[in-house]
Amino acid sequence: MTISRHRAASRPRRIAVLSVHTSPLEQPGTKDAGGMNVYISQTAVEMARRGTSVEVFTRATSSDQPPVVELAPGVLVRHVPAGPFEPLTRGELPSQLCAFTSGVLRTEAFQEPGYYDLIHSHYWLSGQVGWLARERWGVPLVHTAHTLAKVKNAALAHGDTPEPRTRVIGEEQVVAEADRLVVNTEVEAEQLVRLYGADPDAVRTVSPGVDLDRFRPGGVEGARAALGLSPEAVVLAFAGRIQPLKAPDVLLKAAATLVRRDPELRRRLVVLVAGGASGTGLDQPASLRRLAGELGIADLVRFLPPQGGQDLVNVYRAADVVAVPSHNESFGLVALEAQACGTPVVAARVGGLPVAVADGESGVLVPSHAPDDWADALARVALRPAVRAALARGASRHAARFSWQRTTEALLDTYAEATRAFHGTALEVAV
Specify the pLDDT at position 429.
Answer: 36
Q: What is the mean pLDDT of residues 78-106?
A: 93
pLDDT band of 159, cuts 50, 70, 90: confident
Specify the pLDDT at position 424.
Answer: 86
Say if residue 178's pLDDT is above 60: yes
Q: What is the mean pLDDT of residues 93-120?
A: 96
Specify the pLDDT at position 32.
Answer: 64
pLDDT tens column, 391-422 = 999 999 999 999 999 999 999 999 999 999 99
Rounded Cα distance between 285 and 242, Å, is 7
pLDDT band of 428, cuts 50, 70, 90: very low
Q: What is the mean pLDDT of residues 372-395?
A: 98
Distance of CA 400 to the CA centre of its chain: 18
Q: What is the mean pLDDT of residues 159-168?
A: 89
Q: What is the mean pLDDT of residues 215-229?
A: 96
Q: What is the mean pLDDT of residues 140-152?
A: 95
DSSP sequence for 2-58: -HHHHHHHHS-SEEEEE-SS--TTSPTTSTT-SHHHHHHHHHHHHHHHTT-EEEEEE
Rounded Cα distance between 22 and 123, Å, is 10
Strand ranges, E, within 244-320: 269-274, 301-304
State the average pLDDT for the chain.
91
Annotated binding site: 21, 27-28, 32-37, 90, 123, 147, 167, 241, 246, 307, 316-317, 319, 329, 337, 343
Specify the pLDDT at position 155.
Answer: 81
pTM: 0.88
Specify the pLDDT at position 395.
Answer: 98
User: Which domains, ranges and CATH numbers included, belong to the chain?
Assistant: 3-209+403-423 (3.40.50.2000), 220-399 (3.40.50.2000)
Specify the pLDDT at position 282.
Answer: 46
Most confident of 27-41, 77-91, 273-287, 351-365: 351-365
Rounded Cα distance between 36 and 28, Å, is 9
Say if residue 2's pLDDT is above 50: no
Percent of the chain with pLDDT over 90: 81
Q: What is the mean pLDDT of residues 45-55?
A: 97
SS3 142: strand
SS3 141: strand
SS3 425: coil
Specify the pLDDT at position 295.
Answer: 97
Specify the pLDDT at position 285.
Answer: 66
pLDDT tens column, 32-41 = 667 799 999 9
Helices marked H in 138-185: 149-154, 165-177
- The residue among 119, 89, 160 whose CA lies nearest residue 19 is 119
Q: What is the mean pLDDT of residues 121-139?
A: 97
Say if residue 30's pLDDT is above 70: no
Name which residue leads in pLDDT, 428 or 80: 80
Specify the pLDDT at position 33.
Answer: 62
pLDDT band of 157, cuts 50, 70, 90: confident
Annotated binding site for Mg(2+): 316-317, 319, 343
Annotated binding site for UDP-N-acetyl-alpha-D-glucosamine: 27-28, 35, 241, 246, 307, 329, 337
pLDDT tens column, 270-319 = 999 998 765 544 445 688 999 999 999 999 999 998 888 899 999 999 99
Measured between alpha carbons, how far is residue 102 from residues 57, 320, 406 in Å? 12, 49, 34
Rounded Cα distance between 114 and 51, Å, is 17
Say if residue 426's pLDDT is above 60: no
The packing angle between helices 371-382 and 385-399, to 10°, is 90
The packing angle between helices 333-340 and 35-49, to 10°, is 70
Lowest mean pLDDT among 35-44, 67-76, 152-161, 203-212: 152-161
In the chain, helix, strand, coil percent, each to 5?
45, 15, 35
Buried b (16+ CB within 10 A) or exposed e, 270-304: bbbbbbbbbbbbeebbeebeebbeebebeebbebb
Rounded Cα distance between 335 and 343, Å, is 9
Specify the pLDDT at position 169.
Answer: 97
Annotated binding site for 1D-myo-inositol 3-phosphate: 21, 32-37, 90, 123, 147, 167
Specify the pLDDT at position 286.
Answer: 81
